[in-house]
A and B are shown apart, each in its own frame.
Chain A
Amino acid sequence: MTAELRSAAAPHAEREAVQASRSTRRRVLPPRLVNPLLGAAGLLVFGLAGELLPALGVVRPQDLPPTSAVLSALVGMLGDATLWQAIYDTLYVWALGLTLSSAAGIALGLVIGQLPPVRRATASLIEILRPIPSVALIPLVVLLFGPRYESALVLVVYAAFWQVLVQTIYGAADVDPVVMATARSYRLSLWRRVTTVIWPSALPFVMTGIRLAATVALVLTVTAQLLIGTPGIGKAIALAESAGATDRLYALVIVTGLLGVAVNTGIRIAERHLLRWHNSTRTERGA
């Protein structure tokens, strides 16, 4: 998590990998078995580096407490209701923001993507508004809402909306013209065309947008908590920092990482489930 830590872990990583590859050549284990073992070894080395660096005096223990101290702080917090409340608050804003921005992004994106004149007219506006960092709005939401969850929600929705919108536009514009013409010649109603032709062919793009938006939404949820003090894990981190409780600080950082992993995995599973009919899923190699 820190520059020192990672640079220290890298040479280990290389050596381990070489050793492991040698040993597997002897025993001929399938990669399906070897890779998780290697991964576990990687986590172990990472944790060990975190334990040894402060112990050997490379970094000060008050800057980077040993892994054991961080893990015991983490275990201690697991029994504490405030951690679960913070996780709940974080996920609540994240999910609400993601839902709102996805709904708006998909609806607008389908319309814009399907109508070339609208697409041409809105392209420049989207290119202007999209790169505006949503954190620029922090001072405004602080004045409008203060440390309430609405502050976080505004930032999350603004940032996540563009991700979904842009991908949906690509998707809706990418519909196979032959399929579209066929649907027209069968005189499918507009609604049927949207649900049976446009939506399925845009869906892979939409899911990519939602996946990007999910990450961005989590980043901004935590940002608002950290800087504005809306309730959640970010606020707990700010409190731990001002209390000088670095073991708790690192434990909470790990919690946000695990939360991020959970969000990524959840979205990936949902994507695979929704797109199980799609070529990209069906031909995917188990890499």
Chain B
Amino acid sequence: MRRSRLTVVGNAVALPLLLAVLWWVASADSESIYFPSLQKILGAFPETWLDDGWGSSIIVDGVPSVARLAIGFASAALIAVALGTAIGLHPRLRAFVEPVLELVRAIPGPVLVPVVSLFAGIGDGMKVAVITLGALWPILLNTIDGVRGVDPVMTETARSYHLSRPRRLIALVLPAASPQIFAGMRQGLSVGIILMVISEMFAATNGLGFSVVQFQRNFALPEMWTGIIVLGTLGLLASLVLQFAETRVLRWYTGLRAADHES
């Protein structure tokens, strides 16, 4: 039963569009200061974010935010996968670090902002460090689980073929753990975005989180709403990028799963 492409697109577009229209209509003659009409919000959007070419807010505030998020998240992923592979492969090491990990990962990420700012001040380093430390845990724990879950028969086979340790890691352990690692990265990314916004709201001179709070402090309500839309779009785009990477990297896995289902 193949549905036509038109129905699929229709399904995807209909409800969001309907809600947008509803928002437009319901807020059309809104007198509330807190909930300005969608028309006003969209009207304020270009001058708030897009005016001035290279000096526009979307560049001046958006680029630092995205850079912090990208650097912080990438370092979190690298550290977490390296550490997680080591811990996952060594049961004794795992038993040794487990209680510490349980305690440290249970600390809600935002609490790290004041702690890290003791060491790193309130500059870019602090923000990147906070994002890294927050996004690290979900990736680390999932990597450990994924590495532990590698099929023992495959491990034995690789051993009996005398694959070198690095070869075993690259050809067997990491690919086998990658679906779990990506699940961790998805959680880590949403934590990272939260921490990016929070650390910029806490103390910053630029960035999306900073500018949204500025609008709020100046009671610039339509502008504040445009900021909420920008932050939402950033979250959406970031998750799309990760999803794209995931489908590329895990193509073999989804194919395998589909074949399993058919058989």
User: A and B bound?
Assistant: yes
- B197: interface (CB < 8 Å): yes
In the bound complex, do residue A139 and residue B11 qualify as a contact, i.e. CB atoms below 8 Å apart? no
Residues in chain A near residue B64, CB distance under 8 A: none
Residues in chain B near residue A34, CB distance under 8 A: 92, 95
Cα–Cα, bound, A38→B96 (Å): 5
In the bound complex, do residue B194 and residue A223 qualify as a contact, i.e. CB atoms below 8 Å apart? yes
Grouping DSSP codes into helix (H, G, I), strand (E, B) and loop, the B interface class, with mixed when no group exceeds half, is helix
B217 to chain A, nearest CB (A): 9
Residue among A3, A17, A133, A246 making CB contact with B193, cutoff 8 Å: A133
- A132: interface (CB < 8 Å): yes
Instruction: Identify which of B13, B19, B133, B197 gathers the most chain A CB atoms within 10 Å of its CB.
Output: B197
In the bound complex, do residue A123 and residue B12 qualify as a contact, i.e. CB atoms below 8 Å apart? yes
Cα–Cα, bound, A127→B83 (Å): 31
Cα–Cα, bound, A226→B236 (Å): 25
Residue among B11, B12, B103, B202 making CB contact with A257, cutoff 8 Å: B103
In the bound complex, do residue B213 and residue A234 qualify as a contact, i.e. CB atoms below 8 Å apart? no
A215 to chain B, nearest CB (A): 8
Stretch at the interface among B23-31, B115-123, B172-180: B115-123
In the bound complex, do residue B194 and residue A142 qualify as a contact, i.e. CB atoms below 8 Å apart? no
Cα–Cα, bound, A71→B173 (Å): 40
In the bound complex, do residue A42 and residue B96 qualify as a contact, i.e. CB atoms below 8 Å apart? yes
Residue of B nearest to A253 (CB): B111
Grouping DSSP codes into helix (H, G, I), strand (E, B) and loop, the A interface class, with mixed when no group exceeds half, is helix
Contact flag A2-B235 (CB < 8 Å), given A41-B96, A139-B224, A139-B228: no
Residue of B nearest to A262 (CB): B106
In the bound complex, do residue A132 and residue B111 qualify as a contact, i.e. CB atoms below 8 Å apart? no
Cα–Cα, bound, A221→B213 (Å): 19
Residue among B95, B118, B232 making CB contact with A39, cutoff 8 Å: B95
Residues in chain A near residue B109, CB distance under 8 A: 219
Residues in chain A near residue B194, CB distance under 8 A: 133-135, 219, 223
Contact flag A133-B115 (CB < 8 Å), given A39-B99, A223-B194, A260-B106: no
- B152: interface (CB < 8 Å): no
Residues in chain B near residue A226, CB distance under 8 A: 110-111, 113-114, 198, 202
Residue of A nearest to B137 (CB): A215
Cα–Cα, bound, A258→B103 (Å): 7
In the bound complex, do residue A136 and residue B129 qualify as a contact, i.e. CB atoms below 8 Å apart? no
- B231: interface (CB < 8 Å): yes
Residue among B99, B100, B133 making CB contact with A3, cutoff 8 Å: B133
In the bound complex, do residue B224 and residue A42 qualify as a contact, i.e. CB atoms below 8 Å apart? no
In the bound complex, do residue A2 and residue B116 qualify as a contact, i.e. CB atoms below 8 Å apart? yes
Cα–Cα, bound, A31→B106 (Å): 25
Instruction: Identify which of A123, A142, A219, A253 gathers the most chain B CB atoms within 10 Å of its CB.
Output: A219
Residue among A40, A133, A143, A261 making CB contact with B235, cutoff 8 Å: A133
26 contacts between A and B (CB under 8 A): A2-B115, A3-B133, A20-B96, A42-B97, A43-B99, A63-B119, A120-B11, A125-B19, A131-B235, A133-B194, A134-B194, A135-B198, A136-B197, A139-B215, A143-B221, A222-B110, A223-B108, A223-B110, A226-B114, A238-B114, A241-B114, A246-B118, A253-B111, A253-B115, A258-B103, A263-B106
